[in-house]
Amino acid sequence: MGDSEINELKAKIVILEERNVRLMEDLQNAEREKRYSEGELFRVQKDLGRVRSELDKLKSPPLAIGSLHDVLSDNRVVVRGSGNGGSDYIVAVSDYIPKEDLVIGSRVSLSRQSMAVMEILPSPIDPLVSGAEVVEKPTVTYKDVGGLGKQLRELREAVEDPLIRPELYAKVGIDPPRGVLLAGPPGTGKTLMAKAVANATKATFIRLVGSELVQKYIGEGARLVRELFCLAKEKSPCIVFLDELDSIGARRLDGSSSGDREVQRTLMQLLAEMDGFATVNNVRIIGATNRPDILDEALMRPGRFDRIIQVDLPDAAGRAQIFKIHLSRMSVEKGVSPQKLAEKTEGSSGADIKNMCMEAGMFAIRDGRDVVSPADFDLALGKVSAGRIGKTQPAPVHMFG
């Protein structure tokens, strides 16, 4: 073999080796692609599964809603459809429902064809009611309430003591007042006080606003009241705060519109629930109203709102305290004195005072300053009191058409 031949063979070997390297690379690439495609396939299959089940869901026939009335021994149950007429049926139960979940009174979904029970629905507490529960405690404390010393003491005696120190009442042998009614003009701190007591006790705070109850849920007020008290029992110890009570608690009139009758049904339910609470000791009820004069007398009977706390517009000392509370959160010049401001704001409520402080702050900001001056307060005083004169008196009770 000549040199030239050897060189030729060597060159061929180099070429083959290079090709080998390239092929190896190609193979690796191909393998990588295969893995990628497999992953992709898996993902697409999963998507497909989801879409299929979604489609099934969309195609599935609607379910009827009913309530469980009885459980028979042969694994069948008596249900009542919620539709018109609401006849009773004896039906089968889906195997997927554990027997112990079949509680009489629960809401169930029913197959349209066989009326068989398909599932047990969650307890029918309305989102408005469950949403009314304040899970986090209000952050308001007694220190944030100005000038209502006497009222606050009464409220604490009636609400805080029975919850925190029930033995006080037990020793003397009397029942604590069942319900406390805070009555007074708008913006005087009623809601504020209720929040402060809730904060001071460990109790759950449930707040429901009367006007919302009547306006949003025509025809359902009574049911909501029932559910609210159900929730209260479940969550006890707790404080139920019924704000704007006048919108449901207005005196019953006769010959009124259907809307009024609805409000009255709600009121009747409220009265019934409060009576039913006679035996439940760790639920306290606070009501608030601007118009105690138009409330139904039945609400004030013993065992219901039997303690009325009058929350009036603050006097000069009270106003000074309220100013102090709100000023403490602001940066103000030395010349701003709560006492002087209180003297100039005869007839203002706590909410007005809060408003004035905010307006004064706005004047400072508009002026490019970050400290509020006495002059800002003078401007704010003018603005807010002008607004107050233009304002109409407290809105009367909510009435339907």
Judged by CB under 5 A, the stretch of 83-91, 184-192, 245-253, 310-318 that binds Mg ion is 184-192
Interface residue with Mg ion among 151, 188, 191, 355 (CB under 5 A) is: 191
If the CB atoms of residues 350 and 361 are measured against ligand ATP, the closer one turns out to be: 350
Q: What's the Cα-to-Cα distance from 98 to each of 112, 116, 117, 119, 156, rounded to whole Å?
A: 21, 15, 12, 10, 47
Residue with tokens 């190896």: 24
By the rule CB under 6 A, 187 interacts with ligand ATP: yes
Q: How far is the C-alpha of 401 from the C-alpha of 258, rounded, in Å? A: 9
Pairing of strands 283-289, 179-183: parallel
The residue at minimum Cβ distance from ligand ATP is 350
DSSP secondary structure of 179-194: EEEEE-STTSSHHHHH
If the CB atoms of residues 366 and 391 are measured against Mg ion, the closer one turns out to be: 391
Q: Do 191 and 239 form a contact (C-beta atoms < 8 A)?
A: no
Q: Do 80 and 71 form a contact (C-beta atoms < 8 A)?
A: no
By the rule CB under 6 A, 206 interacts with ligand ATP: no
189 binds, among Mg ion, ligand ATP, none (CB under 5 to 8 A by kind): ligand ATP
| Cis bond before residue 176 (omega within 30° of 0) | no
Interface residue with ligand ATP among 91, 148, 203, 239 (CB under 6 A) is: 148
By the rule CB under 6 A, 190 interacts with ligand ATP: yes
Least distance (Å) between residue 394 CB and ligand ATP = 8
Count of residues binding ligand ATP (CB under 6 A)? 19
Give the Cβ contact number of residue 33 at 10 Å: 10
If the CB atoms of residues 191 and 373 are measured against ligand ATP, the closer one turns out to be: 191
By the rule CB under 6 A, 147 interacts with ligand ATP: yes
Least distance (Å) between residue 319 CB and ligand ATP = 9
By the rule CB under 6 A, 208 interacts with ligand ATP: no
Q: How far is the C-alpha of 106 from the C-alpha of 91, rounded, in Å? A: 15
Least distance (Å) between residue 329 CB and ligand ATP = 10
Q: Which two tokens stand for residue 270?
A: 């409220």
The H or E element spanning position 357 is helix 350-366
Q: How far is the C-alpha of 186 from the C-alpha of 200, rounded, in Å? A: 24
By the rule CB under 6 A, 115 interacts with ligand ATP: no
If the CB atoms of residues 196 and 263 are measured against ligand ATP, the closer one turns out to be: 196
Interface residue with ligand ATP among 63, 200, 308, 351 (CB under 6 A) is: 351
For residues 250-309, which are near ligand ATP according to CB under 6 A?
A: 288, 290
DSSP secondary structure of 204-268: EEEEEEHHHHHHHSTTTHHHHHHHHHHHHHHH-SEEEEEESTHHHHBPP-SS--HHHHHHHHHHH
192 binds, among ligand ATP, Mg ion, none (CB under 5 to 8 A by kind): ligand ATP
Residue ranges binding Mg ion (CB under 5 A):
191
Residue ranges binding ligand ATP (CB under 6 A):
144-148, 186-192, 288, 290, 322, 325, 350-351, 354
